[in-house]
Amino acid sequence: MEGGGAARGAERWEGYVDWRNRPATRGRHGGMLAASFVLVVEVLENLAFLANASNLVTYLMGFMHYSPSQSATTVTNFMGTAFLLALLGGFLSDAFFTTYTIYIVSAFIEFTGLVILTVQARTPHLMPPPCSKSAGGAPPCAPVSGAKKAMLFAGLYLTALGVGGIKGSLPSHGAEQFDEHAPRGRKARSTFFNYFVFCLSCGALVAVTFAVWVEDNRGWQWGFGISTIAILLSVPVFAAGSGLYRNKVPTGSPLTTIAKVLLAVALARRGGAQSASNGAVIDRAPSPTGSTDMKDYCKPGEMMNIADAAAAAADQVEPSRELAFLNRAVRCQEGEPQQNGRLACTVQEVEDVKIVLMVLPIFVSTIMLNCCLAQLSTFSVEQAATMDTRVGRLTVPPASLPVFPVTFIILLAPVYDHVIVPFARRVTGTEMGISHLQRIGTGLVLSIVAMAVAAVVEVKRKNVAADSGMLDSPKPLPISFFWIAFQYLFLGSADLFTLAGLLEFFFSEAPSRMRSLATSLSWASLALGYYLSSVLVSIVNSATGRGGHRPWLQGASLNHYHLERFYWVMCVLSTLNYLFFLFWAIRYKYRNAGVIKG
């Protein structure tokens, strides 16, 4: 009987439960089949989000009567808030609820917001009255205000809250389905993140083609309706995999651990921490190529589960030498930690906080890239709106321009996972092939090139407008919108390398108790990038509008903007940001899953 009980215990996934809060078991829960439901859900979820976000600037200008700069700022603030709220979704997933629960609740919140937007779009008296921006005829345009504006923003920010909860829970929910203590599981998890970005792009492809065409030709009530149906359908698809999921048990607020360690360091005397007597030290590697199997530091013959082995090993060794000032939080005497009330810190807790602090510079260095990506849904769309968007007899909506980077990502992601990565593994002899930071760095370089290309294309667009005498004409310029495709391709490639790399980097490096929160940093970087875009527009206008001069990014017509100068500023800032990234990436030591040397 005891042997049978031990066997049943060995079959369990320690720290995981099924959707009914019963212990999750090996062979029944987890794996690629379970994660595949997450991938299908991501197609529907991103379709629901981007069907509106990619074309929202057009809706705000045409129906809510905002100026181009007001529309761009509103869109960046909306998208920034949605991505920033992913931190809340990640925190709740780690601390109090499972990622399973957070997704279900967030999907219904987003559904509510989309219903509000749909009702407003199909009800004329809930929108500003028709007007004309030209002299004579209809009354002059006034931006939406009062209760109508309140309804608009209620719908937008309920949608943002739901999107944030989904982004904060869905990627980590899928990644948790794999056994990180086996090479096969780690490789499958890496494949999952690549295909997560692939599925995200599939949803975006439908959004920027079919959904945008519907919005421009059949009305925005149908466009919002498509998003509403998509997010509603995602719930039963997600629930269909309930019997296969393994859900990580919440372990309490990770912020409590961080605060405790930092407070213990602040109160500890300098030089007070003593080394453990066995001389063993937790090792970190300059690349994620070392063994990451926890059994590496289990003694032969020990029959302990992975979590117990890691905890036991961590208690018997010194903290790593990185960020050594944090080691003062640990008090050791004769190899055993001394309890000092509520501020007593274990080696494991100190190492967890070190990981958080060490990834923060990498996180900061990706914000500028996402500031560049923000231009894809704002100024780039407005540029395309002034150009000839005809392809044969078909007129392409400007908001469908992201079809270029999205299609490129869909084509490149499988090639990257099945050709480039295996080749890199054979060449380097490492499990990863290409490290997370190498992927992120590649994305940053591509963003620099994209901004330079965008500036050159804008110069050409304005020259065509001037040569044709159409600086003040509302008619399309005699220049194909395919010129804009170049900056989209470079930024799309940058997004593939950086987003997939960031998601996997934060998930694999973060302590298990704060993985959802750490993964959410990828979306928070997007949020801060959108906010930074709005701030840069304000700063540039303020700096260039002094002394009676016209600000670079202000006016009713984009042809009178100095957008090319703004893009060059972005290019220079992106270059400086890449140098900042290199400084920290060269010095970064990977967690290496707690391998112990000594």
Say yes or no to pLDDT of 108 above 50: yes
pTM of the model: 0.79
Amino acid occupying residue 30: G
HEC string of 158-227?
HHHHHHHHHHHHHHHHHHCCCCCCCHHHHHHHHHHHHHHHHHHHHHHHHHHHHHHHHHHHCCHHHHHHHH
Question: Biggest alpha carbon distance in the chain?
Answer: 91
| Domain annotation for the chain: domains and CATH numbers | 12-130+144-245 (1.20.1250.20), 354-592 (1.20.1250.20)
Residue with tokens 């395309």: 384
Q: What is the DSSP string of 49-77?
A: HHHHHTTHHHHHHHTS---HHHHHHHHHH
pLDDT of residue 139: 57
Decide if pLDDT at 131 tops 80.
no
Instruction: Over range 580-598, report the average pLDDT.
Output: 71
What's the CA gap between 338 and 324, in Å, rounded?
19
- Residue 222's CB: how many other CB atoms inside 10 A? 15
The percent of residues above 90 in pLDDT, for the chain, comes to 18
The overall average pLDDT reported for the chain is 79
Query: 78, exposed or middle or buried, with CB in 10 Å at 0-12, 13-18, 19+?
Result: buried
Sheet holding 12-17, edge to edge: 23-25, 12-17, 247-248
3: tokens are 């042997």
In this predicted structure, the answer to whether residue 107 has a pLDDT above a threshold of 90 is yes
Cβ atoms of 143 and 202 within 8 Å: the answer is: no
Give the Cα separation of 222 and 512 in Å (integer).
Answer: 42
pLDDT value for 124: 79
Q: What are phi and psi of 23, to 5 degrees?
A: -55, 130
Model confidence at 177: pLDDT above 60: yes
Give dist(CA 444, CA 112) in Å, integer.
Answer: 37
Answer whether residue 2 shows pLDDT above 50.
no
Q: CA 359, 362, 366 angle in degrees (round to 5)?
A: 140
Q: Residue holding tokens 């996180």?
A: 363
| Phi, psi (deg, nearest 5) at residue 386 | -90, -5
Q: Which residues have CB under 8 Å from 592's CB, separation 6+?
A: 283, 284, 285, 288, 290, 291, 292
CA distance 270 to 276: 17
SS3 229: helix
At residue 301, the pLDDT reads 40
Higher pLDDT, 582 or 140: 582
Q: What is the mean pLDDT of residues 234-243?
A: 92
Strand blocks (E) in 442-536 = none
Closest CA to 440 of 369, 515, 489: 369
pLDDT band for 269, please (50, 70, 90 cuts).
low
Q: Which tens digit of pLDDT belongs to each residue from 224-235?
A: 899 999 999 999
Burial class (CB in 10 A: 0-12, 13-18, 19+), 384: buried
Q: Give the bridge partners for 12, in sequence order.
A: 25
pLDDT at residue 81 is higher than 70: yes
Two tokens at 150?
């309140």
What are φ and ψ of residue 460, in 5° steps?
-65, -40
Q: What is the pLDDT of residues 340-390, one digit of tens each?
A: 556 777 787 888 888 888 888 999 999 998 888 877 767 887 788 888 888
